[in-house]
Structure 1
Amino acid sequence: MSDLVPVIGGALEKTGSVIVGAVRFGIVVAQLTVASATMAGLSHQVRSTFRYVEECASSVDRLADLAASKAVDQSTVNEHREAATVMRDCKEEAEAMAVECEEMSSLFHETADGHIADYGAVADAANNMPDGIEMADRTFYSNR
């Protein structure tokens, strides 16, 4: 075998293990942060959409009032009022969904913070090991 090919089990393997561990830590924190932001954004989007739906319901109510003032048949007026009511009834469920999304966003954020608190010091230590000092086997840290 060529002297240029590193031997598996040597310093290259240990360095690779440290790099993989640091990358995994960073990926987990990044994914949790993205999930938190995504859920917060979804909550905002749900509320924005249903503000629009509320405006639509008000518009349909105005159309029902206009139809009633123009002596349009009562079933048409009633259909408009029912449509506006359905729109408003959905808003309560959407608000509950928005609250759930906010709670999930907070939980993802707390989980990321907890992961950093639990493993951040280990990741920093692994990334900043002085030359000549080798990292312990990854399995040592896996049961923390």
Structure 2
Amino acid sequence: MSDIVPAIGGALVKTGSVIVGAVRFGIVVAQLTAASATMAGLSHQVRSTFKYVEDCAASVDRLSDTAASLNVDPLTVGEHRDAATVMRSCKDDAEAMATECEEMSSIFHTTADEHIADYGSVADAANNMPDGIDMADREFYSNR
């Protein structure tokens, strides 16, 4: 009876190793896909936020014009115009940030696709190993 225990233990260890490898593959792909979606969403959010800032700047310009037409002191009118200018001054930085986020999203997406291309067939083979055929040691696949 003691001869059976090591054989069952060895099979369980190998099966567990295959399952862990498949789970890791799935987790990596899921994390890369999630990172891609998050970065795309961040890019959209940056652009949306800056659109709001641009609208605020236009509103401040209108207030400046109204204040000037009502003979409000030039210093106050000038401060409002300066505020609108400051709001607009970050446009280039916001656009650069949004573009960088889009590029990162694309890189994460490409990395996920490449990971699937490189290791997807290995994960599929590991998940679909016929009974009685042992999977090679994980280190065999580490130098692909």
- Give the aligned residue type for 2:72: V
1:115-134 equivalences under 5 Å are 115-134=115-134
1:92 and 2:97 matched: no
Question: Following TM superposition, by how much is the alpha carbon of 1:8 offset from its aligned partner in structure 2, in angstroms?
Answer: 7.9
Question: Following TM superposition, by how much is the alpha carbon of 1:61 offset from its aligned partner in structure 2, in angstroms?
Answer: 0.1
- 1:53–1:87 contact (8 Å) kept in structure 2: yes
Question: Following TM superposition, by how much is the alpha carbon of 1:143 offset from its aligned partner in structure 2, in angstroms?
Answer: 1.3
CA distance in 2, matches of 1:79, 1:105: 39
Secondary structure, counterpart of 1:10 in structure 2: helix
Distance 1:65 1:6, change over 3 A: farther
CA distance in 2, matches of 1:5, 1:84: 77
Q: RMSD across aligned C-alpha pairs, in angstroms?
A: 1.9
1:63 and 2:79 matched: no
CA distance in 1, matches of 2:8, 2:102: 47
Secondary structure, counterpart of 2:131 in structure 1: coil
CA distance in 2, matches of 1:7, 1:75: 88
How many residues in Structure 1 have an aligned counterpart in Structure 2? Answer: 144
What corresponds to 2:45 in structure 1?
45
Question: Following TM superposition, by how much is the alpha carbon of 1:91 offset from its aligned partner in structure 2, in angstroms?
Answer: 1.5
1:12-23 equivalences under 5 Å are 12-23=12-23
Structure 2: gaps of 5 or more residues:
none
Identical counterparts, % of pairs = 83
Question: Following TM superposition, by how much is the alpha carbon of 1:106 offset from its aligned partner in structure 2, in angstroms?
Answer: 0.1
Structure 1: gaps of 5 or more residues:
none
Question: CA offsets, 1:61-100, max 9 Å, x none?
Answer: 0000000000001010010001001111112110110000
- Which stretches of structure 1, 4 residues or longer, exceed 6 Å deviation after superposition? 1-8
Question: CA offsets, 1:2-31, max 9 Å, x none?
Answer: 899776851000000000000000000000
CA distance in 2, matches of 1:76, 1:3: 92
